[in-house]
Structure 1
Amino acid sequence: MTGKDVPGLTEAASAIPPGTKINVTFLGNEDLDMRVAAAKAVADLGFVPVPHISARRLASQAQLEEFLVRLGEVGATDRVFAVGGDPSEPEGPYPDSLSVIRSGLLQEHGVREVSIAGYPEGHPDIATDELWRHLEDKAAALREQGLDAVILTQFAFDTDPVTAWIEEVRARGIDAQIRIGTPGPAGIKRLIGFARRFGVGANAMIVKKYGFSLTNLIGTAGPDRFVSDLSAMLAERPASGDVKLHFYTFGGLLATAEWVQQYSASQSAAPGS
Structure 2
Amino acid sequence: MTTNARQDRLTHPHTPRLASTITDAYSLEVSATAIAGLSAAAPAIMRGATIAIPYLPNQDDAARLAAACMVRKLGFAPMPHLSARRIGSLDALHAFVRRAVDEAGVERCLVIAGDPPSPIGPFPDSVSLIDTGVFERCGIRTIAVAGHPEGHPGMPASERWDVLKRKCRSIAERGMAPLIVTQFAFDADLVLTWLHALRARGIAHPVRVGVPGPAGVAVLARYAARCGVGACTAMLSKYGISLGKLLGTAGPDRFVDRLATGLTGAHGEVSLHFFPFGGIAQTVAWVEQYRARTAPHRAD
The TM-score, its normalising length taken from structure 2, stands at 0.87
Q: Say which structure, 1 or 2, has more relative contact order (CA 8 Å, 6+ apart).
A: 2
Which of 51, 59, 64 is equivalent to 2:88? 59
Instruction: Summarize the alignment of residues 25-104 of structure 1 with structure 2, pairs less than 5 Å apart.
Output: 25-104=54-133
| Contact 1:51–1:76 (CA under 8 A) maintained in structure 2 | no
For residue 12 of structure 1, what is the aligned residue in structure 2?
Answer: 41
Q: Which moved more, 1:218-227 or 1:206-215?
A: 206-215
Aligned-partner Cα distance in 2 for 1:7–1:75: 17
Deviation by residue 1:120-152 (Cα, 9 ceiling, x = unmatched): 111112222221111000011011111111100
Q: Which residue of 2 aligns with 1:259?
A: 286
Q: Hey, what's the Cα distance between the residues in 1 that align with 2:104 and 2:256? A: 32
Q: Deviations over 1:90-141 (max 9, x none)?
A: 1101111111111110000010001100001111122222211110000110
Give 1:200 shift.
Answer: 2.1
Deviations 1:55-80 (A, max 9, x none): 11100001001101211222333011
Looking at structure 2, the residues matched to 257 and 74 of structure 1 have their Cα atoms a distance apart, in angstroms, of 27
Q: Structure 2: which 5+ residue stretches go unaligned?
A: 1-29
Deviation larger for 210-219 or 146-155: 210-219
Q: Following TM superposition, by how much is the alpha carbon of 1:270 offset from its aligned partner in structure 2, in angstroms? A: 4.9
Aligned counterparts, 1:97-136, within 5 A = 97-136=126-165
Say if 1:8 and 1:254, in contact at 8 Å, map to a contact too: yes
Q: Deviations over 1:166-206 (max 9, x none)?
A: 01111111110011101000111010111122232333322
Separation in 2 of the partners of 1:203 and 1:97? Answer: 28
Stretch of structure 1 that moved more, 197-206 or 160-169: 197-206
**Code of the aligned partner of 1:242:** E
Instruction: Please name the residue that 1:139 is paired with.
Output: 168
Aligned counterpart for 1:244 among listed residues 261, 271, 278: 271
User: Partners of 1:243 and 1:48 in 2: how far apart?
Assistant: 18
Alignment check: 8 A CA contact 2:220 2:277 kept: yes
Residue equivalent to 1:220: 249
Displacement of 1:213 in angstroms is: 1.2
- Which ranges in structure 1 are unaligned for 5 or more consecutive residues? none
1:183-237 superposed Cα distances (whole Å, 9 cap, x missing partner): 00011101011112223233332222111212111121110110011010013xx
Q: 1:172 matched to which residue of 2?
A: 201
Q: In 1, distance between residues paired with 2:297 and 2:254?
A: 15
Q: Determine the C-alpha separation between the residues in 2 that align with 1:42 and 1:271.
A: 31
**Structure 2 Cα separation of the partners of residues 244 and 270 of structure 1:** 18
CA–CA separation in structure 1 for the residues paired with 2:296 and 2:58? 44
Aligned residues with identical type, % of pairs: 44
Q: 1:264 Cα shift?
A: 1.2
Moved over 6 A (4+): none
- Match for residue 14 of structure 2? none
Q: 1:118 touches 1:153 (CA, 8 Å); kept in 2?
A: yes
Give the Å deviation of 1:251. 1.0
TM-score by length of 1: 0.95
User: Does the CA contact (< 8 Å) of 2:241 and 2:250 recur in 1?
Assistant: yes
CA contact (8 A) 2:145 2:180 kept: yes
